[in-house]
Amino acid sequence: MTYLHTDGPAQVGRRGQPVLDSQLAAAEAALSDGVVDLVLTGHLSAASRVARLMGRPLPRHARVFVLDTRPHDRDRAVAAAVTAATRLSTGGFAWVGRSPDNVRQALALTSAEADGFASAVWTAMDGRCRIAGSAPLPLRDAVRGYAYALGELQVPADQPGALRSQPETAGPTALGTGPMLLAGPLGRAWANGFLAPLRAYYPTRAQDPGAAELTATVRAWLACGRDAAGTLYLHRSSLSARVRKVGRVLGVDLDRTGAQTMLCLALYLDSLPRPPVGTAPTDVPGPVSLSDLLAQPLARSWAEAVLNGVLDSPGSTNAVTLRAWLDHDCRTRPTAEALGLSVPGLRKRLARLSKRLGADVFGSPADQRELWLAVKVFDG
Q: Structural domain boundaries of the chain?
A: 2-153, 178-275+282-288, 295-379
Residue 320 has a pLDDT of: 95
pLDDT band, residue 333 (cuts 50/70/90): very high
Q: Which fold has domain 295-379?
A: Arc Repressor Mutant, subunit A (1.10.10)
pLDDT band, residue 326 (cuts 50/70/90): very high
- Sequence-distant contacts of 223-230: CB under 8 A, at least 24 apart: 223/148, 223/151, 223/152, 223/154, 223/172, 223/174, 224/151, 224/154, 225/365, 227/154, 228/151
Q: Which fold has domain 178-275+282-288?
A: Arc Repressor Mutant, subunit A (1.10.10)
The whole-model pTM stands at: 0.57
Which range, 102-111, 222-231, 332-341, 355-364, is most confident?
Answer: 332-341
Residue 245 has a pLDDT of: 95
In this chain, the answer to whether the domains covering 178-275+282-288 and 295-379 adopt an identical fold is: yes
Residue 52 has a pLDDT of: 81
Helical (H) or strand (E) element with 109: strand 105-111
Residue 6 has a pLDDT of: 38
> Tens digit of pLDDT for each residue in 14-55?
444 555 666 676 777 677 788 888 888 778 888 888 888 877
Residue 101 has a pLDDT of: 72
Q: C-alpha 14: how far from its chain's center?
A: 40
Interatomic CA distance for residues 284 and 86, integer angstroms: 41
pLDDT band, residue 373 (cuts 50/70/90): very high
The radius of gyration of the chain's CA atoms, rounded to the nearest angstrom, is: 23
> Tens digit of pLDDT for each residue in 128-140?
888 888 777 788 7
> Tens digit of pLDDT for each residue in 267-312?
888 776 555 444 444 566 668 888 888 888 778 888 888 898 899 8
> Tens digit of pLDDT for each residue in 187-202?
888 988 999 999 999 9
Among 88-92, 244-248, 350-354, name the one with the lowest average pLDDT. Answer: 88-92
Residue 207 has a pLDDT of: 82
Residue 152 has a pLDDT of: 67
Measured at the alpha carbon of residue 83, what is the angle toward residues 81 and 84, in degrees to the nearest 5? 65
